[in-house]
């Protein structure tokens, strides 16, 4: 008789008598369908991988906390920011954007920077990147953009023609392309890069007064990047370099930290600022709207199980708390739907109930049923609203603040189409050595493009940002600067 008190069981809790030999008809088989442990084991194994994320497929995560270091109650009623010294637990996921789950960490790509704050008013997600801008500014273009970053449907290879064709036909991408092709395009580690909320959000205080804001996470480790040759070497020798670095740093007690700052813009400035403040391809000048410190984020605990905590973590810029509202940013407006919808497809309708995603405060609503519902599903409590049975009701004081809208319902672009000033300003800020590396990176990326028309069209954009910028790219590609510029 077994004295083992740590018995292996099936998924339904029954002890397993033999986990080394399947049940067969005699020693040579065949295998019997009645071996329910074997069937369950194989069936579960076939389903161990949820669909990988369409974007940000590969990533690493960590737990930590956020501590308020500056009084911002003048601007927002968000409870997790309500007093200096207040600490809020959080989880963060860093990622690459375009590559698959098995891709290398050190490729040239933006890095996702997604933070989930477990506040007493529910979860709050800041879902951004390590760059303050993005390639496009309207969500309707997002599926097409990501298609260009993925694989050709016939060759199943990355396709430089698609990448540069799309960018050259979408001049709003120029600012982000310049950042991506600069030294910042390959961070040294996840710890040595900044993070940005990228979009414009609105903070609202307890009196209902609002301001527009942008988030900036500044790394305390300093910004460091990888040279192209080092990154390429690491991609082959240690494709999980960034994942390993983050885990090891936390494991040995070298806890990475970031300071969180915001830029604050009065609501009325949005109508007169020289760039559209809701255009995610643009930044706000820090001379116009200086950074104001909010708090400090520290990562001090590694996940205990990668799948449960990192792979199943779900983030959305629509995961909001009272005191934080959205803006008319067209890219943000699309993400408010797309991110939650992606999680419902990828992880399940009840993804918010998983431990890594579940709010720390009590969740009260009338959502019921759905796949993988593993709490008590509301028990026998009232399941509709309004009702006469003292079920949870809305709290008007927590509504998002109103803002006026006007215009004709139509498919329209942003009013502002200066895609060149900020990209040119960025180019001119670079040192001579940084400019040279930027040019070299762009030339190397564009050389495989087979259509000269695409190259010339993109050179035009570089030239409009800065004549030297465009001329040096043209020379590197052995092409003339197009006459129209």
Kindly state the helix (H) or strand (E) to which residue 113 belongs, with its residue range. Answer: strand 111-119
Statement to judge: residues 334 and 470 lie in one domain: no
Phi, psi of 194 (to 5 degrees): -80, 165
Nearest to 163 by CA among 175, 153, 177, 183: 177
Statement to judge: residues 224 and 297 lie in one domain: yes
Residue 129 and residue 317 in contact, taking contact as beta carbons nearer than 8 Å? no
- Answer whether residue 99 is part of any domain: yes
Looking at 357, 389, 413, the residue that finishes a domain is 357
Distance, C-alpha 202 to centroid of its chain: 19
As a residue count, the chain comes to 485
Q: Using CA atoms, how far apart are residues 477 and 485, in angstroms rounded to an integer?
A: 17
Residue 389 and residue 397 in contact, taking contact as beta carbons nearer than 8 Å? no
Statement to judge: residues 74 and 203 lie in one domain: yes
Statement to judge: residues 348 and 454 lie in one domain: no
Statement to judge: residues 325 and 471 lie in one domain: no
Looking at 314, 340, 357, the residue that finishes a domain is 357
- Answer whether residue 401 is part of any domain: no
Residue 249 and residue 191 in contact, taking contact as beta carbons nearer than 8 Å? yes
Give the structural domain span for 464: 421-477
- Answer whether residue 96 is part of any domain: yes
The domain total for the chain is 2
- Answer whether residue 389 is part of any domain: no
Three-state SS for 400?
Answer: coil
Nearest to 215 by CA among 326, 294, 121: 294
Kindly state the helix (H) or strand (E) to which residue 293 belongs, with its residue range. Answer: strand 291-301
Statement to judge: residues 319 and 210 lie in one domain: yes
HSE toward the beta carbon, residue 191, CA cutoff 13 A: 20
Q: What CATH number corresponds to the domain at position 88?
A: 2.40.180.10
- Answer whether residue 173 is part of any domain: no
What is the dihedral angle through the alpha carbons of 392, 333, 264, 323, rounded to the nearest 10 degrees?
0
- Answer whether residue 391 is part of any domain: no
Give the pLDDT score at 3: 57
- Cα separations in angstroms, 71 against 206, 266, 293: 14, 18, 9
Cβ neighbours of residue 90 closer than 8 Å, sequence gap 6 or more: 63, 64, 65, 66, 115, 116, 117, 118, 297
* DSSP code of residue 196: E
Active-site residues, by number, are 56, 129
**Backbone dihedral region of 209: left (phi > 0), alpha (psi from -120 to 50 degrees) or beta?**
beta
Kindly state the helix (H) or strand (E) to which residue 441 belongs, with its residue range. Answer: helix 432-446
- Answer whether residue 322 is part of any domain: yes
pLDDT in tens, the chain (485 residues): 555 678 888 888 888 899 888 989 998 888 888 988 888 888 888 888 889 999 999 999 999 999 999 999 999 999 999 999 999 999 999 999 999 999 999 999 999 999 999 999 999 999 999 999 999 999 999 999 999 999 999 999 999 999 999 999 999 999 999 999 999 999 999 999 999 999 999 999 999 999 999 999 999 999 999 999 999 999 999 999 999 999 999 999 999 999 999 999 999 999 999 999 999 999 999 999 999 999 999 999 999 999 999 999 999 999 999 999 999 999 999 999 999 999 999 999 999 999 999 999 988 889 999 988 989 999 999 998 999 999 899 888 888 888 888 888 888 889 889 999 999 999 999 999 999 999 999 999 999 999 999 999 999 999 999 999 999 999 999 999 998 77
Statement to judge: residues 308 and 453 lie in one domain: no
Nearest to 347 by CA among 330, 317, 372, 326: 372
Give the pLDDT score at 2: 53
Buried b (16+ CB within 10 A) or exposed e, 196-214: bbbbbbbbbbeeeebbbbb
Q: Which residues pair with 321 in a beta bridge?
A: none
Statement to judge: residues 67 and 207 lie in one domain: yes
Nearest to 262 by CA among 133, 451, 90, 75: 75
Statement to judge: residues 336 and 437 lie in one domain: no
pLDDT in tens, 59-88: 999 999 999 999 999 999 999 999 999 999
Statement to judge: residues 201 and 301 lie in one domain: yes
Burial of 260 (0-12, 13-18, 19+ CB in 10 A): buried
Looking at 357, 384, 408, the residue that finishes a domain is 357
- Answer whether residue 220 is part of any domain: yes
Structure tokens belonging to residue 261? 């700052």
- The CB density around residue 294, as the number of other CB atoms within 10 Å, is 23
Statement to judge: residues 190 and 301 lie in one domain: yes
Statement to judge: residues 353 and 428 lie in one domain: no
């Amino acid at each position: 008789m077994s004295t083992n008190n740590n018995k292996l069981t099936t998924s339904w809790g029954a002890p397993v008598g033999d986990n080394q030999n399947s049940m067969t008809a005699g020693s040579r088989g065949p295998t019997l369908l009645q071996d329910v442990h074997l069937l369950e084991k194989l069936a579960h194994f076939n389903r161990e991988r949820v669909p990988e994320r369409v974007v940000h497929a590969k990533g690493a995560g960590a737990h930590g906390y956020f501590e308020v270091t500056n009084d911002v109650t003048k601007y927002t009623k968000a409870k997790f920011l309500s007093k200096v010294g207040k600490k809020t637990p959080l989880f963060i996921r860093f990622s690459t954007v375009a590559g698959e789950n098995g891709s290398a960490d050190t490729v040239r790509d933006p890095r996702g920077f997604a933070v989930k704050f477990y506040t007493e008013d529910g979860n709050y997600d800041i879902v951004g990147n390590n760059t303050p801008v993005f390639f496009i500014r309207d969500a309707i273009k997002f599926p097409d953009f990501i298609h260009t970053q993925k694989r050709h449907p016939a060759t199943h290879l990355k396709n430089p023609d698609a990448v540069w064709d799309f960018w050259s036909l979408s001049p709003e991408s120029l600012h982000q392309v310049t950042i991506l092709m600069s030294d910042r395009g390959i961070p040294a580690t996840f710890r040595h890069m900044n993070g940005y909320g990228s979009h414009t959000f609105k903070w609202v205080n307890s009196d209902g007064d609002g301001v527009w804001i942008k988030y900036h996470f500044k790394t305390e480790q300093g910004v460091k990047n990888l040279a192209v040759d080092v990154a390429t070497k690491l991609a082959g020798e240690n494709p999980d370099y960034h994942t390993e670095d983050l885990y090891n740093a936390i494991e040995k007690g070298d806890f990475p930290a970031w300071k969180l700052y915001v830029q604050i813009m009065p609501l009325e400035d949005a109508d007169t600022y020289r760039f559209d403040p809701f255009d995610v391809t643009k930044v706000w000048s820090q001379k116009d709207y200086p950074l104001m410190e909010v708090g400090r984020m520290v990562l001090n605990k590694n996940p205990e199980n990668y799948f449960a905590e990192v792979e199943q973590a779900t983030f959305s810029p629509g995961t909001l708390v009272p005191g934080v509202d959205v803006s008319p940013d067209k890219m943000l407006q699309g993400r408010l739907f797309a991110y939650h919808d992606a999680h419902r497809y990828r992880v399940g309708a009840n993804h918010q109930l998983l431990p890594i995603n579940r709010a720390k405060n009590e969740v009260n609503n009338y959502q019921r049923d759905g796949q993988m519902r593993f709490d008590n599903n509301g028990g026998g409590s009232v399941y509709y609203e309004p009702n006469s049975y003292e079920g949870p009701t809305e709290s008007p004081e927590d509504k998002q603040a109103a803002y006026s809208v006007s215009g004709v319902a139509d498919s329209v672009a942003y009013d502002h189409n200066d895609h060149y000033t900020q990209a040119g300003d960025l180019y001119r800020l670079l040192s001579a050595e940084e400019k040279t590396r930027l040019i070299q990176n762009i030339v190397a990326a564009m050389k495989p493009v087979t259509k000269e028309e695409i190259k010339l069209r993109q050179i035009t954009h570089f030239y409009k940002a800065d004549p030297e910028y465009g001329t040096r790219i043209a020379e590197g590609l052995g092409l003339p600067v197009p006459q129209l510029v």
